[in-house]
Amino acid sequence: MCGIVGYIGKKDAVSVGIECLKQLEYRGYDSAGAAFFDTRTGRMASAKAVGRVGALEEKLNTGGFSSVSPLGIFHTRWATHGGVTEANAHPHADCTDTVWVAHNGIIENYKALRETLESAGHRFRSATDTEVIPHLIEEEMKTLPLEDAVRAALRKLRGTYGLVILSKDKPDHLIAARNFSPLLIGIGKDEYIVASDASAVLKHTARVVYLDDGEIAVITPQEHRVYGAGSTPRAKEVHAIEWSPEQAQKGGYAHFMEKEIAEQPEAIENSIRGRLIPGEGRAKLGGLADVADMLRDAQRILIAACGTAYLAGRIGEYMLEEYAGIPAEVDMASEFRYRKPVFRTGDVLLAISQSGETADTLAAVREAKEKGVPTLGIVNVVGSTIARETDAGVYQHIGPEIGVASTKAFTSQAAIMALLTLLLGRQRDMSLVVGERIARELARIPDLMRTVLGQKSAVAAIAAKYNDYENFFFLGRKYNMPVALEGALKLKEISYVHAEGYGAGELKHGPIALVGPRFPSVCIVPQDSVYEKMLSNMEEIRARGGPIIAIATEGDTRVREIADDVITIPKTLEMLTPLLAAVPLQIFAYQFGVLRGLDVDKPRNLAKSVTVE
């Protein structure tokens, strides 16, 4: 989950490294550090700071480290082992400050390794798991050259890692290694940039090579070589990043989250463009063309995802079963492997992940593949690990999502689930008329979203009204039960208040005990097949003095008689209401956090891409 940068080339490594690191700050922002070869002294130099990358930048500027190095490694941390201190900030060094390492991941056997190294005389300066790595390399370098010493050290590690490594004894070499933690090499003109995410290199190059698990890259200013277990370099495909540098900027918005909420109509248009054939009531998904026959024979769809992507999968479960007539089961990917899933002939696993690097979701993919189950992916990042390891898949094409709390990725994933439902449904018993209706309504969603976004000021006023409340329920049924969970998740992430999402039918089974004047309920109550039941739930809340904020269909007067505050969404097909209902909940959470003076783009304790279990 940490951000890693390594630079080697003709430019100033410090200035390039800091610039790239700022683009990765959403991956971790507890502390930051740098280590680089100082050509003035012929020695390694380093700096660390608690807090954001700006604090590190100030230290480096104060130290006069401009234009002193063509080689450096940089890191912004999301703490796992050890508290948030300068001593625990990366990069970490060996006893002699010769070998330096920046690391993303978790070394599971670090305690045993540390005890062995300490008994051999190594001195540790941090409480991190990472520090064992440079000491292991130091120990191996007593008999081996740097590259071989790195390989020998990595063989002793158990866990996950994305690593960039340098040594003052080889100031023209940068080494990168990956095991279950994303890492890529940006190929520029007379320079290479190693990073844990493509957004870091966008300003410098759109050409990248993605490392696979177990690979090591040895990089000099002139070339890069990638190795597997053997000593022969591997040929690696060079991918082109489809995002522009401008897409990774705020573009005049106060926050990335605000920008990404506003981008949702265009995001949905990009996700469905060229994939809908309304006149035939069909969806055409090019990424699934090679597995069309397999999908036609599929008997069950298993969906694995985490966080917001998991909730998009829950929406897809309803769609697939109601309209495609195919059984679907949704698992939290973090539990998938550990519950020993029972696979059957005809199963297909669908993994959903914005980054395509979510560790638990990737583990679910690998578990399914190990058992011979076909795998599909819905991801946003081209060339990501899940995109490469699944048998087929669908790209979201929504541009980078920088805000830690997912917004446009969620609605895009739900839209793609609708496309998949249309594809599978028309392969089965879905009629032309139903297919045409779904396709036509899905094409209208971007314009309907723009209508919802036009109520931003009204939603902001409601957020202001309730801004001193500390507890919320979010309630919905059927398609909008996952949206209720997502609304509660957004408010928790952004404002740190207590919010619980529930299926409204569960209210009487315990949770209603909490309802009272200081416990508002946000009720998602469009005019759909469970409308009357939602009204009954709202009456129960009202009878107990609980304030009600309703997300309702335009023109609904009955809801206004019960709710204290109402936000409206346009009428659409029941299965597509989640795409509209999610938007005001995102705006509500955003405004709530802003009014509390919080950094909504970088919520405390969170990181954008969860690349460790």
Confidence of residue 77 (pLDDT cuts 50, 70, 90): confident
- The parent domain of residue 45 ranges over 3-241
Q: How far is residue 277's CA from residue 423's CA, in Å, rounded to a whole number?
A: 10
28, 96: one domain = yes
Number of domains in the chain: 3
Place of tokens 């560790």: 359
Instruction: Average the pLDDT over 443-458 and give the result.
Output: 97
Token pair of 61, please? 């500027």
Q: To the nearest whole percent, how much of the chain has pLDDT over 90?
A: 79
Asked if residue 317 and residue 462 are part of one domain, the reply reads no
Quick one: 391 and 482 in the same domain?
A: no
pLDDT at 610 > cutoff 70: no
Query: Are 464 and 571 part of one and the same domain?
Result: yes
CATH code of 26's domain: 3.60.20.10
304 and 209, same structural domain? no
Confidence band of 585 (pLDDT split at 50, 70, 90): very high
Cα(542)–Cα(27) distance, integer angstroms: 42
Indicate the residue among 402, 420, 452 that finishes a domain.
452
Q: Tokens 């490392």 — which residue?
A: 211
Contact present, 279 and 450 (Cβ < 8 Å): no
Tell me 91's DSSP state.
P
Q: Is residue 571 part of a domain?
A: yes
Quote the pLDDT of residue 301. 98
Q: Are residues 569 and 427 in the same domain?
A: no
**Residue 608 annotated among the catalytic residues of the structure:** yes
pLDDT recorded at residue 1 = 64
Find the mean pLDDT for residues 13-38: 87
Asked whether residue 400 falls in the same domain as residue 544, the answer is no
- Evaluate the CA torsion angle 383, 384, 389, 391 in order and state its sign: negative
- pLDDT value of residue 575: 98
* Residue range 238-264, pLDDT digits in tens: 988 877 766 767 878 999 999 999 999
Report in angstroms the alpha-carbon separations of 264 from 217, 491, 594.
38, 19, 20
In this structure, the answer to whether residues 52 and 166 fall within a common structural domain is yes
User: Which of the four pLDDT bands, split at 50, 70 and 90, describes residue 379?
Assistant: very high
- Rounded CA-CA distance 273/557 in Å is 36
Q: 33 and 91 in contact (C-beta within 8 Å)?
A: yes
Mean per-residue pLDDT for 453-463?
A: 96
Q: What is the pLDDT of residue 148?
A: 95
In a domain, 612, yes or no: no
Instruction: Count other Cβ atoms within 10 Å, centred on residue 156.
Output: 16
Q: What percent of the chain has pLDDT over 70?
A: 98
Lowest mean pLDDT among 66-80, 161-175, 533-547: 66-80
Q: Which of 191, 209, 241 is the last residue of a domain?
A: 241
Q: Is the pLDDT of residue 27 over 60?
A: yes
Q: pLDDT at residue 607 above 70?
A: no
pLDDT (0 to 100) of residue 331: 95
Residue at 257 is within a domain = yes
Out of 421, 436, 452, pick the residue that ends a domain. 452
pLDDT at 612 over 70: no
Q: Is residue 608 part of a domain?
A: no
pLDDT of residue 440: 96
**Is pLDDT at 613 greater than 70 in this prediction?**
no
CB-based burial, 48-75: b 16+ in 10 Å, e otherwise: bbbebbeebbebbeeeebeebbbbbbbb
The answer on pLDDT for 339 being more than 70 is: yes
Mark whether 236 is an active-site residue.
no
How many residues belong to the chain? Answer: 613
Q: Are residues 426 and 525 in the same domain?
A: no
CB 424 within 8 A of CB 416: no
Residue 239's CB is within 10 A of a number of other CB atoms, namely 18
Catalytic residue among 11, 259, 478, 608: 608
Domain with 471 in it: what CATH number?
A: 3.40.50.10490
Please tell me the distance from the alpha carbon of residue 153 to that of residue 149, in angstroms, as a whole number.
6
Structure tokens at 343: 């696979």
Catalytically annotated residue among 2, 20, 306, 523 = 2
CA distances (Å), origin 588, targets 464, 474, 492, 522, 526: 9, 12, 12, 10, 18
pLDDT at 13: 93
Report if residue 311 sits inside a domain: yes
Residue 611 lies in a domain: no
pLDDT score, position 340: 85
Please indicate, yes or no, if residue 161 is contained in any of the structural domains: yes
Helix (H), strand (E), coil (C) string for 93-145: ECCCCCEEEEEEEEECCHHHHHHHHHHCCCCCCCCCCCCHHHHHHHHHCCCCC
Q: pTM higher than 0.85 for the full model?
A: no
Q: Is residue 478 domain-shared with residue 575, that is, in the same domain?
A: yes
490 in the same domain as 404 = no
Residues forming beta bridges with residue 4, ordered by sequence position: 75
pLDDT for 93-151, tens place per residue? 999 999 999 999 889 999 999 999 999 999 999 999 999 999 999 999 999 999 999 99
Q: In this structure, are 179 and 103 located in the same domain?
A: yes
Q: Judge whether 176 lies within some domain.
A: yes
Q: Is the peptide bond preceding residue 400 cis, with omega within 30 degrees of 0?
A: no
